[in-house]
Structure 1
Amino acid sequence: MTRLTTRARQLWLCYRLQLKILLVSPFEGFLGVVFPLMFATATLLVYRVEGDPRAMAYAGLGAAVMGVWTSVTVAASSLLNRERWAGTLELLVAAPTPFLMVLVPITTAMATVGLVSVVVTLVWNRLVFGVRLDVASWPLLVLGVLAATVTIAMFGFLLSVVAVRYRTAWALGASLEYPGWLLCGFVVPVSLLPLVVRPLSWALAPTWAVEAMRSAASGGSPWGELAVCLALGAAYAALAAYLGRRLIESARRHATLALT
């Protein structure tokens, strides 16, 4: 078995096992789908006041993707702390498999739960609020949703590494959840945000993924937005890999891996 095949098998097994854990977890699984429905409902109730079907479709599509962001940010920020509290962090670091190869499938599984919520939310929007999506290209729309899922998973990978030294890392993810809805343009256009925060929006890959989805729905060309989205996702992964190696080396050198 080649090294590449071994790595692919390890990623798949870790992803599959983590996904099973999340789906049977009352919080990560069931509430990971219910919470996005609550948020989408609140968003559409606000937009319904104007009675504009186009605005409802705009908000409904963005509200569906919010579930992926919510599923990843809060859980990923406290991922390594949870492993530390469970007493498994040292085992993962000492295992022959590179530690970062364990984190990526975990955050990808988190994003997959959010992907399920996208489908459920779109159905909910149609049945409860009558939001009708007139999509010019469903394949390109699906490609945009997948790009959002993958890049949010990579952002969660970066967040899990950056937040490892914080005792209350979960609070960091929680503090990013609601601002991310605005910064990524899920519920309001980025053009309506203050000029000072727009660079933050452009640095977030989901912003470009959502724009690609809306462009695909309206019949435009989403390839430019998808390219920027995937490039940012690759940058997140590269930065997380670099920081992860440095943090593990520092923890080993100073004997602080088990510090809580």
Structure 2
Amino acid sequence: MTVSRALRLTVVGVRTHVSYMSRSPLEITFAVLVPLVYATLAVYLFRAADNPDRLLTAAVGAGLMGIWSSVLFGSGGAVQNQRWLGTLETLVSSPTPLSLVLLPITLATAVIGTYAMGATVLWGAVLFDVPLDFAHPLLFPVAVPVCVLSLGMMGLLLAATFVLLRNANALANPLDAPVWLLSGLLVPVTVLPDWTRPVSWVLPTTWGSRAVHAATSGGAGVGEVLTPMIVALALGAVYALVAVLVLGRVELRARAAATLSLA
């Protein structure tokens, strides 16, 4: 398969899944309503801690949590929906590589998750009078897509595992809070125990969120935004490569274990 054909399949797949997911009440709930609850709690917690200058950071962090939840449950839900519809076996046996089937799904869930970022920032500005004084207003719109892309690559690796599991939500549920804690989406990873640092460093979400927060809060230089962005993209590429390799093994294992269908 040529690169141009793979890109075309990815673009068409992302557009199709975004159109489908944006009409799903469950996806809208995860993308908009749940992050608003996160944002409300975060703003009140930061105010109670006498950190009024970090209210925008709280709103942005809640948005990142919403994006991660959308990717996590969206990837698992999309694979599970294909299994319920009886089309997962057809997708696996189709000439198109399974990675190019799952990649648009994970990217689409990340794109839908960007609703969360806009919703939480506007929610904080309108309801809590959070000033929208970004430290790097030009870099912030760049850092967010980079973070979304890194989340999508991580979602692709998770989706590879979801193909093997008949109940993908069994793995998705316990991964929600630990990942956003280890990635520093809302609170810095420096407040966590030292033994968690190596785990945080290998997560692309850690570097993506660091770039977004550096573009949001004051005192960070341009290099403190660009460097995490580059690391997030590099780790995202590694995760994508690992996902492609894992998918081959998972596909064979799923065929042997007969876990592609619900029957």
TM over 0.5, shorter chain: yes
2:210 corresponds to which residue? 211
2:169 corresponds to which residue? 170
* Post-superposition offset of 1:30: 4.4
* Post-superposition offset of 1:255: 6.6
Greater shift after overlay, 14-23 or 132-141?
132-141
Q: Give the aligned residue type for 1:238.
A: L
Greater shift after overlay, 83-92 or 212-221?
212-221
CA RMSD of aligned residues (A): 1.9
* Post-superposition offset of 1:170: 0.5
Are 1:66 and 1:181, in contact at CA under 8 Å, matched by a contact in 2?
Answer: yes
Q: Give the aligned residue type for 1:84.
A: R
Q: Secondary structure at the match of 1:139?
A: coil
TM-score norm. by structure 2 comes to 0.91
Q: 1:112 to 1:122 in 2, by over 3 A?
A: same
1:96 corresponds to which residue? 95
Are 2:66 and 2:117, in contact at CA under 8 Å, matched by a contact in 1?
Answer: yes
Q: 1:46 to 1:136 in 2, by over 3 A?
A: closer
Are 1:23 and 1:29, in contact at CA under 8 Å, matched by a contact in 2?
Answer: yes
Distance 1:248 1:50 in 2: 49
- Which digits, 9 at most, give the CA deviation of each residue in 1:26-82, with x for residues without a partner? 101244211111111111121111332223233222112111101011222344333
Are 2:150 and 2:204, in contact at CA under 8 Å, matched by a contact in 1?
Answer: yes
Greater shift after overlay, 20-29 or 47-56?
47-56
Identity over aligned residues, as a percent? Answer: 35
Q: 1:47 to 1:245 in 2, by over 3 A?
A: same
2:237 corresponds to which residue? 234
Distance 1:54 1:193 in 2: 22
Matched residues, number: 258
1:224 corresponds to which residue? 227
Are 2:13 and 2:105, in contact at CA under 8 Å, matched by a contact in 1?
Answer: yes
Q: Any gaps of 5 or more consecutive residues in structure 1?
A: none
Say whether residues 1:77 and 2:61 are aligned partners. Answer: no
Q: 1:60 to 1:255 in 2, by over 3 A?
A: closer
Distance 1:224 1:255 in 2: 43
2:109 corresponds to which residue? 110
- Which digits, 9 at most, give the CA deviation of each residue in 1:173-214, with x for residues without a partner? 121112222211122111110111122211211211121122
Q: 1:49 to 1:251 in 2, by over 3 A?
A: closer
1:258 corresponds to which residue? 260
Are 1:78 and 1:164, in contact at CA under 8 Å, matched by a contact in 2?
Answer: no
TM-score norm. by structure 1 comes to 0.92
Distance 1:48 1:84 in 2: 45
Are 1:23 and 1:30, in contact at CA under 8 Å, matched by a contact in 2?
Answer: no
Say whether residues 1:245 and 2:244 are aligned partners. Answer: no
Are 1:90 and 1:257, in contact at CA under 8 Å, matched by a contact in 2?
Answer: no
Distance 2:57 2:205 in 1: 15
Distance 1:185 1:255 in 2: 37
Are 2:143 and 2:211, in contact at CA under 8 Å, matched by a contact in 1?
Answer: yes
* Post-superposition offset of 1:133: 3.2
Q: Give the aligned residue type for 2:124.
A: N
1:123 corresponds to which residue? 122
* Post-superposition offset of 1:25: 0.6
Q: Give the aligned residue type for 1:214.
A: H
* Post-superposition offset of 1:259: 4.8
Are 2:88 and 2:261, in contact at CA under 8 Å, matched by a contact in 1?
Answer: no
Distance 1:66 1:86 in 2: 29
Q: Secondary structure at the match of 1:51?
A: coil
Are 1:75 and 1:170, in contact at CA under 8 Å, matched by a contact in 2?
Answer: no
Greater shift after overlay, 179-188 or 234-243?
179-188
1:196 corresponds to which residue? 195
1:15 corresponds to which residue? 14
Q: Give the aligned residue type for 2:242.
A: L
